[in-house]
Structure 1
Amino acid sequence: MGKILVTGATGNVGRHVVSQLAAAGLDVRALARRPERVQPGVEAVQGDLTAPETLEPALKDVESVFLLWPGLTTGNAAEVIALIAEHARRVVYLSALVPDSEDAAGHYGEIEGLIRRSGLGWTFLRPGGFAANTLGWADQVRQGVVRWPYGQASRALIHERDIAAVAVHVLTSAGHNGAAYPLTGPDELTQAEQARVIGEAVGRPVRWEEQPPEEAAEQLLAAWGDEAFVRSALQAWESFVTRPERATDTVRRLLGRPALSFRQWAEDHVADFR
């Protein structure tokens, strides 16, 4: 098996892809803006997907690429994917799940289209909600109250280690070319239930307090600076009140074991909430 390049190698998912590939004794190279943050013993190369001129050294002798695109627009994705296609044979792209649809949307869908037309062999991983997104509640959890909109929005949040495990499985086994895999966790929990489970893992009661959406919009706009993205996020959370994100069995089918529960995720991240 040839060398595997992992982009986003120090992020929530990428660092687990790197560590799992390295633990299996595979030839992995980590691409990172700050390569000193890559785990010891792994070949690390400095580079940035938004600066294609930095990618040539990272792509040398690479057969497969795990692609995690930075940001919320396609930017220079066409140039980067063309460059990958000059060097590698296949790409596993971390896309996103769209409820009630068989296709990705927004910039995820655009990048999928670029990959389909690139000549590369490809597999798309389409996770739903990330359990790690609830880390945004950490300060509130420490105070014992999570104030957020749409407490009854229900999702099947996925552990980042499961996304990484599926990525590693796909990168290292045959039969996945042209597949698009919807990935979720096993538990369909409302946001209020998620806050309660985090509190139980931490050992501190956590109460949910419903926040008016317009108040949340002001706070999120100040934090994110993108009005369209804030509006889209709030609309998505609202939709999960009446149309919950349903759990899939993809992780079980691909890995031969159940997906990790949200409670397991919370227990793995207790230190982040203390």
Structure 2
Amino acid sequence: MPDTTNPTSSPYRPSILVTGATGNLGREIVDRLQAHGARVRCLVRDQADARPGVESVVGDLREAGAVRDALVDIDAVFLIWPLLDSAPAHDLITELTTAAPRVVYLSSTAIDDGAARQSDPIVQVHADMEALLHDAGLRPVVLRSDTLASNARGWVQQLRAGDVVSGPETARTAVVDERDVADAAVTVLLAPDDHLNHGPHVLTGPELLSRADQIAHLGAALRRDLRFQALPADLARSRMLADGRPEPLVEALIAASVWRPESNRVTDHVERLAGRPAGTFARWAIDHAAEFN
């Protein structure tokens, strides 16, 4: 097979379907695939979400017809499952099995492979999706990502209103720059079959950070004296519901903050796939400081 890691040296141009293409990570992946010369197709829920110059299919991952149309002549799929229940994924799995593309699934570093049940609903659905893909014989490439740095964008409104960010306290995590995850994902989406490692690849940043640590890094980047205020679960729940977040998501986030154990894992898997060390959250904060003003 031609060397797909250097598309400019070969006429081979894989066709890749990106789900979650309008999100923080998906946008980075689409940009990189286009830069590599891949043919990119996005599955979007509304035509208004379609990116100029990028082929799009309008539909939902739960709609078999839309998935079938999106998979026509596709070589690989970057899959993000956005729901807190894996049951609606069965039609998707059927369509993937029929089309038989390479599947790269974005999962979670919090999965405990030795546990009968996972620590919270968010991790459980990732474990369930991994099992469904494997049981269908798809042999997915699994990227288990730690907390994405881009999740900090959820604090924009609070930081525009003042110097305190409040929310539920969570265990420290090895926060990973979504640009690093995108580089890793593109590597495996474009890799020749004989160089493919199915993982799971555990993608982390270089250090464990608490919410307070992240706020401190943002403060340094913004040259502001910022602080994090931990909220009791009940108060955090009521505030998230008042902000309009769906109740099932709020309950899952609260469960994750209460029960998810701290991960002590910092890996070099980003470097193995992307060819360079993972970036720090401090660097991410500097690069994105303008978004918080």
Residues 46-86 of structure 1: per-residue CA shift (max 9 Å, x gap): 12112222222211111111111122111321111110121
C-alpha distance in structure 2 between counterparts of 1:70 and 1:46, whole Å: 16
Tell me which residue corresponds to 1:182. Answer: 202
Give yes or no for contact 1:89–1:121 (8 Å, CA) kept in 2.
no
Which of 193, 213, 223 pairs up with 1:203?
A: 223
Tell me which residue corresponds to 2:247. Answer: 225
The secondary structure found in structure 1 opposite 2:23 is coil
Tell me which residue corresponds to 2:148. Answer: 130
Which of 142, 166, 175 pairs up with 2:184?
A: 166
Q: How does 1:1-274 map to 2 (within 5 A)?
A: 1=12, 2-98=14-110, 101=113, 105-142=123-160, 143-150=162-169, 153-174=171-192, 175-222=195-242, 223-226=245-248, 228-236=251-259, 239-240=261-262, 244-274=263-293
Give yes or no for contact 1:63–1:89 (8 Å, CA) kept in 2.
yes
Moved more, 264-273 or 116-125: 264-273
Which structure 1 segments of 5+ residues have no match? Answer: none
Q: TM-score, normalised by structure 1?
A: 0.89
Give yes or no for contact 2:62–2:91 (8 Å, CA) kept in 1.
no
C-alpha distance in structure 2 between counterparts of 1:149 and 1:270, whole Å: 23
Q: TM-score, normalised by structure 2?
A: 0.83
C-alpha distance in structure 2 between counterparts of 1:102 and 1:269, whole Å: 38
Give yes or no for contact 1:3–1:28 (8 Å, CA) kept in 2.
yes
Which structure 2 segments of 5+ residues have no match? Answer: 1-11
Give yes or no for contact 1:64–1:90 (8 Å, CA) kept in 2.
yes
C-alpha distance in structure 1 between counterparts of 2:76 and 2:143, whole Å: 15
C-alpha distance in structure 2 between counterparts of 1:177 and 1:249, whole Å: 15
The secondary structure found in structure 1 opposite 2:24 is coil
Greater than 4 Å deviation, 4+ residue runs: 99-105
**Quick one: which amino acid aligns to residue 196 of structure 1?**
A
Give yes or no for contact 1:64–1:91 (8 Å, CA) kept in 2.
yes
Cα distance 1:110–1:228, how it changes in 2: closer, same or farther (>3 A)?
same
C-alpha distance in structure 2 between counterparts of 1:245 and 1:12, whole Å: 25
Shift of 1:102: 6.5
C-alpha distance in structure 1 between counterparts of 2:270 and 2:47, whole Å: 30
Cα RMSD between the aligned structures?
2.2
C-alpha distance in structure 2 between counterparts of 1:99 and 1:68, whole Å: 16
Shift of 1:177: 4.6
